[in-house]
C-alpha cells in the first residue's frame, strides 16, 4: 500500500466527487446495441483498489462510500468488457534508490493484476494479443490488458521494459504529473526539462516499437507528443486525454495535433477527469481538509481499521464541504463530440480514468457507460462508428504495433 493511496491524495485535492443522481433508463435499442459491442476502456486505475484492505473486485461497491468506480458487478451492469489495467507509480526523485523502490512497487502492482485474473478465471482473462479481446468477450469474461502509467519505475535501464512486456504490459505512458528521466510532463510547474523526449526516452520508444508495445502520450507535454509522432514506427495512443479547443488545459490536445495524431494512425481516448473538462469553482475548505487527511497517511500503509477510519473521515469531509460546480456528462460529451468532429470515428475512443479521478455528474462509475452509446446514437453515429470508438480503434493500433514488431524480428533474422 505504500503507493496505493498516494494517487488518491492528488486526485482528491485537484478534482471533485460527483454527486449522486438516479440512473436514467436507457432506450432498449441503445442498451441492446451497447451489450453487443466489445467495449474497452484504455485507462483503468482500478489496480490501486486491489491492494486496499478487504476490497474485492468481485463485490459491488459504492462510489459514494468507498470512492471506487470499477468492480465486476458494475462492469456487468455497464457492459464494460474490459480494458487496460494500469500499473501506476507516482513520480519520485530521479535517483537510483527511488528508481529501485518504484521498480519493486510496479512489479508487485503488476502481480496484483495477474493475481486478480488467476483468482477468478471464470470472470477474467489476461489479454496480450489483439485477437484475445474477441475470444475473451465471446467466453463472457472480462478482458485484462495491462499498461504502465508513468515509466519512472524503469529507472535508467530501458531493457527493463522487456520484463514488463513478459508480464503482459502492452501500453506505456512515459510521464505523469512531473518531468522524469524519459520525458517532459504537461503539468510540471517547473516547465520543460528536455523539450520533449529525453535521449533515454527516445531509446525507450525504440525498444517499445521493437517489442510491440504501444506508446501512450497522455500526461506528456505537447513536445513529447510531437516527438512520438515523428519517431514512433507504429501509431500511438492518448489513453485518457481531452480537447484543448473545448478547455484550454495543458493536459488537453489542440486540433492540429489531433489531426497529426490521426494522420499517423493514432487514437485519442477521451477521459472524464473533471478538472480537465472545464474550468470549475475552487473549494478551499474542501481542499484544505482533504490535504490534511491525505497528509496524515505517512507511507500509505494501512490496516483494516485505519483504512475504515480513513474512509469515514473522507466521507465526513464530503458531507461538511460538498464538492461545488462539478462537471457533468454534457461536459464530457463536448470533448468526445469535438474529437469526433475533428478526426472522425476512426481515431477516437474511450479512456475515462476510472479510479484515477474520472467521473462526472451523470456518469459517476462504470455502470453508467451505456449513456455514452445512447448519446452517440442520438448524435447520428452508426453501429460501425461505435464499434470503432469502443474498441476497434484501440485494437487496430495494438495490431499495428504487433505487426511492426513481427516484421522487425523477421528482418533481424535475415528473412526480409
> What pLDDT score does 300 carry?
63
Distance CA 401, CA 255 (A): 25
- State the residue for C-alpha cell 507516482: 90
> What pLDDT score does 302 carry?
80
Q: Give percent of the chain with pLDDT exceeding 70.
A: 93
Mean pLDDT of the chain: 92
Residue 1 lies in a domain: no
pLDDT band for position 13 (50/70/90)? very low
Select from 376, 378, 349, 353 the least CA-distant residue to 364. Answer: 353
- CB count within 10 Å of CB 398 equals 28
Distance CA 109, CA 51 (A): 8
Instruction: Residue count of the chain, please give it.
Output: 416
The pair phi, psi for residue 361, each rounded to 5°, is -60, 125
Residue 150's Cα: distance from chain center in Å?
11
Q: DSSP letters of 237-277?
A: EEEEEEETTTS--TTEE-HHHHHHHHHTT-EEEE--BGGGT
> What pLDDT score does 8 carry?
44
- More confident site: 98 or 24: 98
* CB of 217 closer than 8 Å to CB of 197: no
In the chain the first and final C-alpha atoms are separated, in Å, by: 48
Distance CA 266, CA 107 (A): 28
Residue 121 lies in a domain: yes
Residue 1 scores a pLDDT above 50: no
Residues β-bridged to residue 185: 220
Residue 298 scores a pLDDT above 80: no
Going by their DSSP bridges, the two strands 237-243 and 142-149 should be labelled as unpaired
Supply 230's cell numbers: 515523428
Count of structural domains within the chain: 1
Q: Comparing 24-28, 104-108, 131-135, 411-415, which segment has the lowest mean pLDDT?
A: 411-415
Q: Return the DSSP state at 361.
A: B
Select from 272, 379, 286 the least CA-distant residue to 329. Answer: 272
> What pLDDT score does 353 carry?
98
SS3 for 169?
Answer: strand
> What pLDDT score does 415 carry?
58
Q: Comparing 10-19, 22-31, 34-43, 335-344, which segment has the lowest mean pLDDT?
A: 10-19
Distance CA 255, CA 235 (A): 18
Span 288-306, average pLDDT: 81
Residue 332 lies in a domain: yes
Q: Return the DSSP state at 15.
A: S
pLDDT band for position 192 (50/70/90)? very high
pLDDT band for position 17 (50/70/90)? low
Which CATH number is 210's domain given?
3.20.20.140
Residue 37 scores a pLDDT above 70: yes
> What pLDDT score does 414 carry?
66
pLDDT band for position 22 (50/70/90)? low
pLDDT tens, position by position, 234-278: 999 999 999 999 999 999 999 999 999 999 999 999 999 999 999
Q: Comparing 116-125, 245-254, 279-288, which segment has the lowest mean pLDDT?
A: 279-288
* CB of 12 closer than 8 Å to CB of 74: no
Residue 281 lies in a domain: yes
Q: Comparing 89-103, 257-271, 306-320, which segment has the lowest mean pLDDT?
A: 306-320
> Exposed/middle/buried for 255, CB within 10 Å: 0-12, 13-18, 19+?
middle
Distance CA 351, CA 375 (A): 16
pLDDT band for position 411 (50/70/90)? confident
- The pTM (predicted TM-score) of the whole model is 0.94
* CB of 46 closer than 8 Å to CB of 337: no
Residue 9 scores a pLDDT above 80: no
> What pLDDT score does 281 carry?
85
Residue 199's Cα: distance from chain center in Å?
26
Residue 87 lies in a domain: yes
> What pLDDT score does 297 carry?
74
* CB of 178 closer than 8 Å to CB of 188: yes
pLDDT tens, position by position, 342-389: 999 999 999 999 999 999 999 999 999 999 999 999 999 999 999 999
Residue range(s) defining the domain that contains residue 401: 6-412
- More confident site: 311 or 272: 272
Residue 324 scores a pLDDT above 90: no
Select from 240, 203, 246 the least CA-distant residue to 219. Answer: 240
> What pLDDT score does 20 carry?
53
Amino acid at each position: 500500500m505504500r503507493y496505493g493511496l498516494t494517487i488518491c491524495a492528488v486526485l482528491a485535492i485537484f478534482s471533485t466527487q460527483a454527486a449522486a443522481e438516479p440512473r436514467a433508463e436507457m432506450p432498449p435499442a441503445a442498451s441492446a446495441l451497447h451489450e453487443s459491442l466489445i467495449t474497452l476502456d484504455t485507462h483503468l486505475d482500478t489496480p490501486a483498489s486491489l491492494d486496499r484492505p478487504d476490497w474485492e473486485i468481485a463485490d459491488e461497491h459504492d462510489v459514494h462510500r468507498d470512492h471506487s468506480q470499477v468492480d465486476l458487478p458494475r462492469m456487468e451492469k455497464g457492459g464494460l468488457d474490459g480494458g487496460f489495467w494500469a500499473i501506476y507509480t507516482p513520480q519520485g526523485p530521479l535517483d537510483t534508490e527511488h528508481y529501485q523502490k518504484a521498480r519493486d512497487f510496479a512489479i508487485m502492482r503488476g502481480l496484483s493484476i495477474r493475481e486478480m485474473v488467476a483468482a477468478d478465471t471464470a470472470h477474467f482473462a489476461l489479454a496480450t494479443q489483439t485477437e484475445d479481446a474477441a475470444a475473451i468477450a465471446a467466453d463472457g469474461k472480462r478482458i485484462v490488458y495491462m499498461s504502465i502509467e508513468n515509466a519512472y519505475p524503469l529507472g535508467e535501464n530501458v531493457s527493463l521494459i522487456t520484463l514488463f512486456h513478459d508480464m503482459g504490459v502492452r501500453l506505456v505512458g512515459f510521464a505523469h504529473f512531473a518531468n522524469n528521466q524519459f520525458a517532459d510532463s504537461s503539468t510540471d510547474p517547473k516547465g520543460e526539462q528536455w523539450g520533449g523526449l529525453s535521449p533515454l526516452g527516445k531509446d525507450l520508444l525504440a525498444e517499445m516499437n521493437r517489442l510491440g508495445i504501444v506508446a501512450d502520450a497522455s500526461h506528456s507535454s505537447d513536445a513529447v507528443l510531437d516527438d512520438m509522432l515523428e519517431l514512433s514506427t507504429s501509431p500511438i495512443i492518448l489513453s485518457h486525454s481531452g480537447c484543448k479547443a473545448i478547455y484550454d488545459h495543458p493536459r488537453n490536445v489542440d486540433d492540429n495535433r489531433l489531426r497529426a495524431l490521426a494522420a499517423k494512425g493514432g487514437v485519442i481516448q477521451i477521459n472524464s477527469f473533471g478538472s480537465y473538462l472545464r474550468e470549475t469553482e475552487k473549494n478551499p475548505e474542501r481542499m484544505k481538509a482533504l490535504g490534511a487527511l491525505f497528509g496524515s497517511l505517512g507511507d500509505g500503509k494501512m490496516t483494516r481499521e485505519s483504512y475504515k477510519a480513513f474512509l469515514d473521515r473522507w466521507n465526513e469531509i464530503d458531507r461538511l464541504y460538498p464538492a461545488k460546480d462539478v462537471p457533468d456528462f454534457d461536459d464530457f460529451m463536448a470533448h468526445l463530440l469535438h474529437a469526433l468532429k475533428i478526426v472522425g470515428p476512426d481515431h477516437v475512443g474511450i479512456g475515462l480514468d476510472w479510479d484515477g479521478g474520472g467521473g462526472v455528474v451523470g456518469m459517476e462509475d462504470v455502470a453508467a457507460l451505456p449513456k455514452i452509446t445512447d448519446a452517440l446514437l442520438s448524435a447520428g453515429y452508426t453501429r460501425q462508428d461505435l464499434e470503432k470508438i469502443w474498441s476497434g480503434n484501440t485494437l487496430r493500433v495494438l495490431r499495428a504495433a504487433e505487426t511492426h514488431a513481427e516484421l522487425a524480428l523477421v528482418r533481424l533474422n535475415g528473412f526480409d
